[in-house]
Amino acid sequence: MANKVFFVIGIAVLLVLLVVLGQRFLAPRFDLPRDGDSEKATVLLHDGEIVDLVQVVDDINPVKGEFTTKEIEITDGVKHSVSLDDVLDGGPPRDGIPSIDDPKFISISEADDVISNDLPGVAVSLDGIDRFYPFDILVWHEIVNDMFNGKRVLVTYCPLCLSGIVFDPVVQGERVEFGTSGKLWNSNLVMYDRKTESLWSQVLGEAIVGDLTGTQLIVLPSDQVLYGKWKAVHPKGEVLSRETGIFKRYGIDPYGDYYTNNNQFIFSTDHTDSRLESKDFVLGIVVNGKAKAYYPPSIKMAGEIEDVFEGIAIIARYESNIDAVRLFEKRDDGTLRRINPFGNFWFSWVAAHPETALYK
């Protein structure tokens, strides 16, 4: 009898291993050309979206919006704006890190039973809805395809870069779902859209490989904060539930002390910079193609600072109620418009923007 039990257990373990190996080695991947013929090309963008001259003449009001161009390459018919040799396999295949496509939410009283006040996460307030996405869930999924009053919103998190960034996922005029590609660029999450299967860099907010190369996503307002701070401000808020339909070890972070060890890296990057420690957290912005990072501890110490970057008057303010820094554009009439930065580790920001300015 005992032998039969061990036999059944052995078969079950073997089946599990076969499933895991099948997911890892047989699942679809994004295969990129490495040694093909390349040519230069230029794409025309209107407010971050690719257009052609026919659209400009027929459909687009030239008075509204901004036209820009971007230089790209085409290798064996594949458009790309970064070196394909730098788009690396991260280990899992496409969707091997499963996005949450039907997120469920719980009340703060329910969340208090499973998460602690010192748990960090991404906080989003849109259309009168306040939501908190705990990092101990996002670390296992990296993407949440959410809806706010019927409007699709893309919540992303790259644990390698501590970057929780929220986007308006408009692709060719339509809000679509995104998934994890299994690729990394400069140790940062590379996503793909499920409409054109173009590859998108999270830290750039831009398509870097595929038909939409050069297209940019709009960054939406969010904050990286502690749960306890967030719930004090939003007592009726909603918290992402661990009921995702996928078994994961929620509450356990597989990266351990990676976030605080400045000498520990899993993947290499193209550029380093010693002005800050590698894993200091910064808020990065891009204005007129120029990048600048703001160092929150310095702003927290000052309370508020005023800066001018690329002709834009910028206010960086420490919000004590949520223990986070926010950036604003100060307009000519004195009113403030919130700027939605890319929050991430310094090493990630400077790898994507080697010429970045820094306020520290």
Question: What does 162-195 look like in DSSP terms, one character per residue?
Answer: TEEEEEE-EETTEE--EEEEEEEETTEEEEEETT
Strands 281-287 and 290-294: antiparallel
Task: Select from 293, 298, 288 the least CA-distant residue to 273.
Answer: 293
Structure tokens at 320: 């004590």
- Nearby residues of 242 by Cβ (< 8 Å), 6 or more positions away: 114, 137, 250
Q: Please give the radius of gyration of the chain, using alpha carbons only, rounded to the nearest integer.
A: 22
Q: pLDDT higher for 70 or 129?
A: 129
- Please count the other Cβ atoms lying within 10 Å of the Cβ belonging to residue 300: 17
DSSP secondary structure letter of residue 242:
S
Q: State residue 48 phi and psi, 5-degree precision.
A: 85, -5
pLDDT-derived band of residue 11, with 50, 70 and 90 as boundaries?
Answer: low
pLDDT-derived band of residue 179, with 50, 70 and 90 as boundaries?
Answer: very high
Task: Select from 119, 127, 180, 179 the least CA-distant residue to 149.
Answer: 127
For 83, the enclosing helix (H) or strand (E) is none
Residue 62 CA to residue 241 CA, distance in Å, equals 45
Residues 135-144 have a mean pLDDT of 98
Residue 35 CA to residue 206 CA, distance in Å, equals 24
pLDDT over 50 at 22, yes or no: no
Task: Select from 173, 169, 203 the least CA-distant residue to 185.
Answer: 203
Amino acid 333: pLDDT? 95
The length of the chain, given as a count of residues: 360
Q: What is the pTM of this model?
A: 0.89
Q: Is 85 helix (H, G, I), strand (E, B) or coil?
A: helix
- Nearby residues of 203 by Cβ (< 8 Å), 6 or more positions away: 158, 161, 163, 165, 185, 186, 188, 189, 342, 344, 348, 349, 352
CA dihedral sign, ordered 219, 225, 230, 233: negative
Amino acid 216: pLDDT? 95
DSSP secondary structure letter of residue 216:
B
Amino acid 31: pLDDT? 83
Q: For 237-292, what is each residue's pLDDT tens digit?
A: 999 999 999 989 999 999 999 999 999 999 989 899 999 999 999 999 999 999 99
Please give the distance of CA 360 from its chain centroid, rounded to a whole number: 24
- Nearby residues of 139 by Cβ (< 8 Å), 6 or more positions away: 157, 159, 253, 254, 255
Residue 134 CA to residue 136 CA, distance in Å, equals 5
pLDDT over 80 at 148, yes or no: yes
Q: For 39-56, what is each residue's pLDDT tens digit?
A: 888 888 877 788 764 444
Q: What is the 3-state secondary structure (H, E, C) of 268-337?
A: CCCCCCCCCCCCCEEEEEEECCEEEEECHHHHHHHCEEEEEECCEEEEEEEECCCCEEEEEEECCCCCEE
Amino acid 66: pLDDT? 76
Q: For 300-356, what is each residue's pLDDT tens digit?
A: 999 999 999 999 999 999 999 999 999 999 999 999 999 999 999 999 999 999 999
Amino acid 28: pLDDT? 77
